[in-house]
Amino acid sequence: MALGTWGLSGDAYGPVEPHEQERVLRRALEMGFKLIDTADAYGAGRMERLIGQVIAGYDDVVVVTKGGTDRATTPARKHFDREYLRGAVDRSRLRLQKDRIDVYLLHNPTENVLLGGAATDALLELKQEGKIAHWGVSVGYGGVGRAALQAGAEVVELAYNIFHSAQLHRLAGEVIVSGAGVLARSTLAHGLLTGTWTKERVFSSGDHRAARWTQSELERRIDQLLYFRFLVKNDVKTLSAAGVRFVLANSIVSSAVLGPRSVAQLEDTVRHVGMGPVYLREADLQVLPRMLDMAGIAT
């Protein structure tokens, strides 16, 4: 499991107190987390800076960061030209207090950016210079992931959860052939898979989920959760545990990226994940596609 920091930064779901951000990072390290996923855009660089301070002295912690989102303008814009990426990598290195970034990802580029070759050439150049160890792409959909793998990406990050599994499934063969690492984000579908929401749930200002679902879409998603509750039994204590275990049960997933905003959320999730494998019973995994089909969810 990896610690994701988009929500922790305060950008995604509303503000998080700085002392709680640090507490979550330190608690994750205490619990044995070895991978932290972040981006230069999270908190306009503040999250990278905090991570750099907290992990000082932890030589075995891998940091994945992303670049290509220019927040110097309003609204922010994507920037993947050579000079911008070179500057972005140097700024991330400084904030993270690292001479070499472990994994550097292009932050949601288009297929055209990858096909153009300038961005990937820049990353290969930076790798040769020893400023990054590995490069890859954080993608929004499978077509970009495919283009990234064809361009030689060593790591692909994409959304993968019970609701949204089709994109990774379509890339599975290419991932296996390439040997690329897979970071699975949105493991709990932005909190939906906690199974604790009512249909009257209202999201506050500054919470990206306010624009993600219409009221009818949210109600439909909550109804669909009923088809997954058969997974909650025996040592699988909660629906959120089933959600994370579903991701970890996929052998091509290198790491499931969790997104806690408090120490309590972090501990609650980890407590019920178990030591696996086996994360979910094979019989249940075989039943799941039929249940997804009944729920109207593409696999």
Angle at the Cα of 38 from the Cα atoms of 33 and 39, rounded to 5 degrees: 165
Three-state DSSP at 287 gives helix
Please report where in the chains the tokens 């619990």 appear, as a residue.
Answer: 31
> What pLDDT score was predicted for residue 230?
96
> What pLDDT score was predicted for residue 92?
98
Question: CA-CA distance, 175 to 9, in Å (whole number)?
Answer: 30
Predicted confidence (pLDDT) per residue in 88-142, tens digit: 999 999 999 999 999 999 999 999 999 999 999 999 999 999 999 999 999 998 8
Structure tokens at 175: 């991932």
* Higher pLDDT among residues 139 and 299, named by residue: 139
CATH number of the domain where residue 121 is located: 3.20.20.100
Determine the average pLDDT of the residues in 56-63.
93
Predicted confidence (pLDDT) per residue in 217-235, tens digit: 999 999 999 999 999 999 9
Answer whether residue 73 shows pLDDT above 80: no
CB contact at 8 A, 119 and 127: no
Please report where in the chains the tokens 């629906």 appear, as a residue.
Answer: 239
Answer whether residue 70 shows pLDDT above 90: no
Predicted confidence (pLDDT) per residue in 263-294, tens digit: 999 999 999 888 778 899 999 999 999 999 99
Mean pLDDT of the chain: 94
CB contact at 8 A, 91 and 131: no
Three-state DSSP at 278 gives coil
pTM: 0.94
Domain count, the chain: 1
> What pLDDT score was predicted for residue 36?
98
The alpha-helical segments, DSSP class H, found in the chain are: 18-30, 46-54, 82-96, 111-116, 118-128, 142-150, 166-178, 209-212, 215-224, 239-248, 263-271, 282-295
Q: How many CB atoms lie within 10 A of CB 217?
A: 10
CB contact at 8 A, 131 and 89: yes
Determine the average pLDDT of the residues in 198-208.
89
Q: What's the domain range around 217?
A: 2-295
Answer whether residue 206 shows pLDDT above 90: no
